[in-house]
Amino acid sequence: MSPAKAEVLEVPGPDGVREVRISSPDRVLWPDDGITKIDLARYVASVAEPFLRANADRPVALQRFPTGIDGEEFFSKNPPRGVPAYTRTTMCTYPSGRRHPQLVIDEIASAVWMVQMNTITFHPWPMRSDDNDNPDELRIDLDPQPGRAFADVVEAAYGLKDVLEEIGLTPWVKTSGNRGVHVYARIRRTHEILDVRHGVIGIARELERRLPDLVTTAWWKEERGERIFVDFNQMCRDRTIAAAYSARPLPGAPVSMPVPWSALRDVAVSDFTVRTAPDHLQAEGDAWAGMDDAAGDVAAAIALWDKDVEERGLGEMPFPPDYPKMPGEPRRVQPSKKRHDLPDPQDR
């Protein structure tokens, strides 16, 4: 059977209609659900306004699946060939010190073209394109360990909401599209990413003190038990979380969906999919519509970190394994394999 003829989607642009060509439109991306490449492209076009409000003007990495979710996948950071003239790039600096351009989404045609390039999940940075040193977004990923249900993550999210509000930040929440919950807060661009990461660690430790049986900041899985991991390392340079309104490569074609706090206890991850999210959005509106008007000061979060260092003797936490060794970082050794006759750098 010959492949289906390419389709052209017309989407709004800044100066009129853009035409985006979708090749192999009938390629099935979610085999169990029959959702195709053209279905995903139409979905992205249908959520244009809230998608752009959440994700535009940021460096973005692409999680690409050339043959669908059951096939090969790879992350694309360098711009692929054939980038349209209306899609720009920005130069990014990585933990290694190297630099190269990454794509930026300014209009929905760019996102639809990225679907044409077999993107399923978008991964935007927490910084704007003109400054990838100072974040304008604080992000915390609540990651349930085996034995915990979505309802447990929701309770942890409400505890996190309390901590954030007490330090003057406005929290916003979305389903991860998988088993977890993502909590965000807009912040003014006053501090570099490592300082903001320290603020997130301070928040995470405070939440752990309040809910010690429910959440943990333990980096090593062997120490987490059945608690919910507060993933502070998502607030690192070149670490990203699935975008708001982005599809996920899982059965059912779930979407990472912003929801109001008042509804969080009543939702299920399966409520929001490529097929159902547009109708939900049409009926309920964008739960994150006011986020840009609610930027807060991250200094109070960093003060939590400082207090832990000065009064509790708590220091640096491990960085992701692909990072170079960082100042004050404990040795990257699994606790069960750690030699206790060797001091950690943070103990010196």
pLDDT tens digit sequence for 89-147: 999 999 988 999 999 999 999 999 999 999 999 999 999 999 999 999 999 999 999 99
Q: What is the DSSP letter of 232?
A: G
**pLDDT, position 348:** 44
Percent over 90 (pLDDT), the chain: 89
- Give the domain CATH number at 114: 3.90.920.10
Phi, psi values for residue 19, rounded to 5°: -110, 125
Of 7-21, 253-267, 322-336, the one with minimum mean pLDDT is: 322-336
Q: What is the pLDDT of residues 154-195, one digit of tens each?
A: 999 999 999 999 999 999 999 999 999 999 999 999 999 999
Contacts of 120 (CB under 8 A, 6+ apart): 29, 40, 63, 64, 65, 69, 246, 247, 248, 249
Do residues 107 and 37 both lie within one domain?
Answer: yes
Instruction: Specify burial of residue 221 (Cβ count, 10 A radius: 0-12, 13-18, 19+).
Output: exposed
Query: Is the model's pLDDT at 331 over the cut of 90?
Result: no
Give the Cα separation of 259 and 170 in Å (integer): 14
Do residues 151 and 178 both lie within one domain?
Answer: yes
Do residues 185 and 65 both lie within one domain?
Answer: no
Instruction: Specify burial of residue 220 (Cβ count, 10 A radius: 0-12, 13-18, 19+).
Output: middle
Buried/exposed 208-218: b ≥16 CB within 10 Å, e otherwise: beebeebbbbb
Q: Which structural domain range is residue 200 located in?
A: 137-239+294-312
269 lies in a domain?
no
Do residues 11 and 80 both lie within one domain?
Answer: yes
Phi, psi values for residue 274, rounded to 5°: -55, -35
* Segment of 26-35, 314-323, 327-336 carrying the highest mean pLDDT: 26-35
* Mean pLDDT, the chain, integer: 94
**pLDDT, position 21:** 98
Give the Cα separation of 132 and 136 in Å (integer): 10
Helix axes 37-46, 48-55, angle to 10 degrees: 80
Do residues 171 and 305 both lie within one domain?
Answer: yes
**pLDDT, position 165:** 98
**pLDDT, position 340:** 57
Query: Is the model's pLDDT at 198 over the cut of 70?
Result: yes
Q: Using the 3D structure, point to which of 128, 145, 172 is the last residue of a domain.
A: 128
232 lies in a domain?
yes
11 lies in a domain?
yes
Do residues 54 and 148 both lie within one domain?
Answer: no
**pLDDT, position 118:** 97
Phi, psi values for residue 306, rounded to 5°: -60, -40
Do residues 154 and 121 both lie within one domain?
Answer: no
pLDDT band for position 2 (50/70/90)?
A: low
Task: Please name the amino acid found at residue 33.
Answer: D
pLDDT band for position 322 (50/70/90)?
A: confident
For 67-82, what is the mean pLDDT?
94
Query: Is the model's pLDDT at 86 over the cut of 60?
Result: yes
More confident residue, 136 or 343: 136
Do residues 37 and 94 both lie within one domain?
Answer: yes
**pLDDT, position 4:** 78
Nearest to 157 by CA among 147, 144, 146: 144
More confident residue, 94 or 347: 94
pTM, two decimal places: 0.94
Do residues 23 and 49 both lie within one domain?
Answer: yes
Give the Cα separation of 292 and 179 in Å (integer): 27
Contacts of 23 (CB under 8 A, 6+ apart): 6, 116
Locus of tokens 């333990």: 218
Query: Is the model's pLDDT at 31 over the cut of 70?
Result: yes
Contacts of 311 (CB under 8 A, 6+ apart): none
Q: What is the pLDDT of residues 255-292, one digit of tens each?
A: 999 999 999 999 998 999 999 999 999 999 999 999 99
Contacts of 39 (CB under 8 A, 6+ apart): 29, 274, 275
